[in-house]
Copies of this chain bind each other. A is one copy, B any other.
Amino acid sequence: MCQLLGMNSHLPASLTVSFSGFTQRGGCTDHHADGWGIAFFESEGDQPGRRARQFMDKQSAATSPIAQMLKTYPIKSHNVIAHVRKATIGAVTLENCHPFTRELWGRYWVFAHNGDLKNYQPNLHSHFHPVGSTDSERAFCWLLQELNKAHASMPSVQEMTHTLAELVPQISCYGTFNFLLSNGEALWAHATTKLQYVLRQPPFPEVQMRDEDVAVDLAKLNSPEDRQVIITTEPLTVNEPWVAMQNGELRAFVDGQSAVVKHCPPTHWVNPPVDAAAPAAA
């Protein structure tokens, strides 16, 4: 099992505090020690950037020098997706580290997945091909292939969410499909089993971190104009109103708040047997 962390922010914000707690789960407070990765969409002028900057390492997030550097070098972003991995399918290589990135319609797309898709071998007949050997990257490639067929150019967030809601059940019937997806403009989250989010806005509270014995006064780190959504597998703090997403829930976050919600059919096979007669992907 892996852990996901995402942020969607109204103004460019640093994820340093949350990332610091999150990386403790990579080999320290938890058993997710098979590599980690994080991708940032920063702002370019007044606009959210279209290219993501990614960092990853095979070393545990708790001890990696790159993770250490990021804890002291705050990168202010509109959208962030991070992942610490416990390998289940696919070898422990950089090729298999989440998040995965591809270019579509002249902007980067970033994807990270938590869960297992059993016997998932989609028909990848177009131009997105996996570099590594994970079920997750295959799902990402198939999603981009089908999005590219459905839209000639970048659609609105509303339209994108609608199309995703049609595509996602064709993957989630193969197993657990909690994921985060971003194109720099919005961050989409889909839950099968475990994904929770919290809205942070004024008045910012003092929060008690769950993975470190530390309290952080968010009011000192944010201005009155700031507003962010944090999405994660397990809540990072013990005293905030985290909302658990439902099985089949697909949510688009824009400008630090929930913008669109769709309810896909709940997954039939949360843990299908390996030889389950799963339907073929379109």
How many copies of this kind of chain does the complex include?
A: 2
Chain A interface size, under 10 / 10 to 19 / 20 to 34 / 35 or more: 20 to 34
Complex Cα distance, B126 from A266, in Å, reads: 36
Please give me the residue from chain B that is nearest to A64 by CB atom: B73
- Is A131 touching B102 in the complex (CB atoms < 8 A)? no
Which of A126, A127, A130 gathers most chain B CB within 10 Å? A127
A44 near B93: Cβ-Cβ < 8 Å: yes
Are B44 and A94 neighbours in the complex by a CB distance under 8 Å? yes
Q: Which B residues touch A66, using CB under 8 A?
A: 69, 73
Chain A 162-175: CB-based contact to B (< 8 A → 1; otherwise 0): 00000000000000
Q: Which residues does chain B contribute within 8 Å of A129, judged by CB atoms?
A: 103, 105-106
- A132–B42 Cα distance when bound, in Å, is 13
Is residue A53 contacting chain B, with contact meaning CB distance below 8 A?
yes
Whether the pair A103, B106 counts as a contact (CB closer than 8 A) is no
CB-contact partner of A131 in B50, B56, B69, B148, under 8 A: B50
Task: Say how far A157's CB is from chain B's closest CB, in angstroms.
Answer: 19
Query: Cβ of B131 and Cβ of A94 under 8 Å apart?
Result: no
Near B by CB (< 8 A), chain A positions 53-77 give 53-56, 65-66, 69, 72-73
Residues of B within 8 A of A69 (CB): 65-66, 69
| CB interface residues, A 100-146, toward B, < 8 Å | 102-108, 126-132
Contact flags A83-99 to B (C-beta < 8 A → 1, else 0): 00000000101110000
Cβ contacts under 8 Å, A251 to chain B = none
Kindly provide the distance from the CB of A190 to the nearest chain B CB, expressed in whole angstroms.
23
The answer to the question of A51 belonging to the interface, with a C-beta cut-off of 8 Å to chain B, is: yes
Residue contact B95 to A51, C-beta cutoff 8 Å: yes
Chain B residues, Cβ within 8 Å of A104: 127
Residue in B50, B128, B131 whose beta carbon sits within 8 Å of that of A95 in the complex: B50
Min Cβ gap A153→B in Å is 10
Asked if A94 meets B130 with Cβ closer than 8 Å, knowing A66-B73, A73-B65, the reply is no
Closest to A105 in B: B129
**Residue A49 is within 8 A (CB to CB) of chain B in the complex:** yes
- Most chain-B Cβ atoms within 10 A of its Cβ — which of A65, A73, A105? A73
B50, A53: Cβ atoms closer than 8 Å: no
Contact at A94–B132, with CB atoms within 8 Å? no
In the bound complex, do residue A95 and residue B65 qualify as a contact, i.e. CB atoms below 8 Å apart?
Answer: no
The 5 A-B residue pairs with the shortest CB-CB distance, nearest first, are A106-B129, A69-B69, A51-B95, A44-B93, A65-B73
